Amino acid sequence: QVQLVESGGGLVQAGGSLRLSCAASGRTFRTYAMAWFRQTPGKEREFVARISWSGTNTDVADSVKGRFTISRDGAKNTVYLQMNSLKPEDTAVYYCAADRPGRDSGRNEAYDYWGQGTQVTVSS
C-alpha cells in the first residue's frame, strides 16, 4: 500500500509562485510514475503534469506549460510541482497520484494511489 501526502498549498497573489510537495511511503517509490491533477468545484479532475519513474520523461498540460515544472527526489520519496506565474484560474485542489510499477496511466485518472489534496488559491 502506498500513502501520498501533499503539502505546500495556500493563498498567493496572481504572478506569484508556490511549490507543492507529495511525500510517498513505501520502499518502491522509485518505481512509480507520479502525476499531479487538479479539480475545482463542479468540474472534472484535470491533468496537470506527470513524471516517469526514472524522472527522465515529463509531460505537462498545455494550460500550465512554461509555468509549472514537475520533478522528483528519490532519496526523499517526494515529487514536486513548482508553480510560477500563477493565475486565478489555477485555483483548485491539487492532487498527487501514483501508478503501480508496470503501469502507465498517462493523462487519464487511472492511477492506483491518490493523496488527499491540497488547496491552492490565487487571488487577482
56-91: pLDDT as tens digits: 999 999 999 999 999 999 889 999 999 999 999 999
**What residues contact 43, with CB distance under 8 A and at least 6 apart?**
none
Work out whether strand 113-114 and strand 92-98 pair parallel, antiparallel, or are unpaired. Answer: antiparallel
How sure is the predictor about 40, in pLDDT bands with cuts at 50, 70 and 90? very high
pLDDT of residue 103: 85
What integer pLDDT is reported at residue 29 of this predicted model? 76
Say yes or no to pLDDT of 26 above 80.
Answer: no
pLDDT in the model for residue 1 = 78
Q: Check residue 41 and give its pLDDT.
A: 92
Question: Would you give the DSSP letter of residue 114?
Answer: E
Give me the residue label for grid cell 495556500: 10
Please give the single-letter amino acid code of residue 60. Answer: V
